[in-house]
Amino acid sequence: MESENQMKIMDVCQVTPASESATEFSLPLTFFDIMWFKFPPVERIFFYKLTELSPSFFNSVILPNLKHSLSHALLHFLPLAGNLTWPPQATKPIILYKPNDGVELIVAESNADFHHLSGNGVREALASRLCIPELPVTDSKASVIALKITLFPKQGFCIGISSHHAIMDGKSSTMFIRAWAHMCKLSDHGEKQQHPDLLPELTPFFDRTDIQDPEGLEMVYLNHWLELKWPGSDPNPRSLKLVPASVVLSSPVRATFELSGEDIKKLRARVSSQLVKQDSQAKQAHLSNFVLVFAHASVCIVKSKGLGSDRMVLLAFAADCRARLDPPIHENYFGNCVTPCGWHTEAGSLSEENGYLRAVERLSEFIRGLEKGVLDESKTKMARYMTMAAACMIGVAGSTRFQVYGTDFGWGKPEKVETTSIDRTGAISMAESKDGKGGVEIGLVLEKNEMEKFTSLFVDGLNNH
């Protein structure tokens, strides 16, 4: 692991919303939020390569501009400057912003190898954790986000963000980052400090009134969390402490793999051909990039882990409900509006000869079924997943639709965007390819010996599924 002396903390400060006119603001949690109430934080790092970057330019230009634009962006995203809290008389927690609340920002300098940390190659998984801030959480109060900006002299800088999953899903958190970047890139950083208006697609919509809960899912989900116990858990049922990491590996390594647009096109053609041969309804199959890539990665993971044929495997992902609710809600709704979905099968069904095709078919059927009733069986969903704790879970964090590689603060697009938190959840991360040519990038964390097998399987599988 990267040695501790490679990271020097330069400053710890609080960035507050720009206007003093910001007044107290509260936001209730919906059942979509409570579903993720005590999940570990979602953590990402945005790496920016600047080979001539000096400490003086970073401290006099980049850092002040990032802080000023963050302060103005928070005006549009006030809940992020607040805290999750649980008032004594309230039946559920709320998000509360009070004047002078703000976001904790750590500024650091590192002499670590930026190229190594931001590369796609196999590296120790814990190395990049130095670039991630701990999300402040106590029994009674939890921050919504925390930020860490790290300078790598003559190499670049990175922005690490840790966000509370009960407050926002991936679409919302990346909307905020992109809004902050937009304001930073286009701001006039002169004496008047003029900041641009947010683009319509980056303007959050906070109104919760369209989220209906006729089945009482809020309390069903909240009661599940209150009844959940784990080693070292707080006896206070109203504690806001988060559950510990669900995955603990002995020698975890991290790597990133890419399927080009051409790779995915070949997979799609091969699957379509196989479906026609077996007289399946090939035309109705949902052969999206997500389905083809997730199935490929899942089969490779199962094989690399050498799971017994009867070991249960859960393939899980979060489905965006914004456009699938009846009626649909605003596309820029800010908060959580995703529901966990997935199907389980025996490892043997994925590792055998037709495992990839079977995974594609099942994922395709599942996603097509979401259009008919995305919230079907929601009342029993948490209980079902909790009873499958012994299964090998392969989840997905992120989406190719989040456009993370378009996050330009004014010094170019990211060299790399990493979803760091997958080392604690066992998920794979997914994003659009950096080159914008229709490919897909996935990141994952495995034991070192498993990663060696996965690397070989991932390449071979493109030709042999």
Q: Which of 72, 76, 164, 165 is catalytic?
A: 165
- List helix spans (H) across 111-194: 114-117, 170-186
Between CA 275 and CA 270 the distance in angstroms is 9
Would you report the helix, strand and coil content of the chain in percent, each value rounded to 5? Answer: 35, 25, 40
- One-letter identity of residue 77: F
Q: Is 392 left (phi over 0), alpha (psi -120 to 50) or beta?
A: beta
The neighbour count for residue 74, using CB atoms within 10 Å, is: 27
- What does the buried/exposed string (b/e) look like for 184-199 if buried means 16 or more CB atoms within 10 Å of the residue's CB? beebeeeeeeebeebe
Between CA 125 and CA 92 the distance in angstroms is 36
Between CA 324 and CA 375 the distance in angstroms is 9
Residues paired with residue 94 on neighbouring β-strands, in sequence order: 28, 85
Q: Strands of 65-218 (E only): list them.
A: 83-85, 94-97, 103-110, 123-124, 141-143, 145-152, 156-163
Peptide bond between residue 327 and the one before it cis (omega within 30 degrees of 0): yes
Could you confirm whether 408 is annotated as catalytic?
yes
Q: Considering only CA atoms, which of 463, 396, 453, 398 is closest in space to residue 431?
A: 398
Q: Which residues are catalytic?
A: 165, 408
